[in-house]
Amino acid sequence: MGEVGLIKYTRGCNLVIAACTMACVSNSGSPTGTGGQTAAGTGGQSTGTGGQSGGAGSCAPNYACTPTAPSSGDYYADCVARVNQFRACVCLPPLVRWNDGESCADQDAAYDVANGAHAGFIAGICPVEGSAQDECPGWGSATQVISQCLQQMFAEGPPPTATCTGACYQMHGHFINMTNPRYTKIACGIATVNGKVTAVQDLQ
């Protein structure tokens, strides 16, 4: 059995695994794992802003946002649009679709099926890996990834404090990654093996 649910990884100045939770959330949204492990390298741990509002004027963050998922049939376009829906919910600008990173994201997704979550990203199997990666391993379809997995990632937030590392990041890391105001582009990747979909989102 492979991992099922949502997995996140953030790359620091040096190699740092901020969190890698095995089978933490199932397709039904129920916890199925026993908790994640944290392994730190020599670099500083990644910190997040918790997706706090980066906008101005009358925009108020809506952390309970449940927008209707896009369903154009183009996974890559829908993935970018979906993440940008949630960024808009917390008053952040949209990410640009990172076309040049999509081939690498596809390779990561395929590699991870056999080697474990984030294996391709950690190993740097292609030259255009991003700064952070979220992952949805073992889902039933690309549609479920877009409508359910990414929604569950957003539902992790906001974290209780602006600086959120270690155990805090394990609980809120997907939200932190997708709403990080420092990132400007996203590459989505996907692989289907034995009827199960593994999808990654590389952020830069």
Average pLDDT of every residue of the chain: 79
Q: What is the pLDDT of residue 27?
A: 44
Residues in the chain, total: 204
Model pLDDT for residues 6-42, shown as the tens digit of each residue: 566 654 422 223 333 222 233 434 322 222 222 222 2
Q: What is the C-alpha separation between 190 and 197, in angstroms, rounded?
A: 7
Q: What is the C-alpha separation between 183 and 196, in angstroms, rounded?
A: 29
Q: What is the C-alpha separation between 13 and 121, in angstroms, rounded?
A: 15
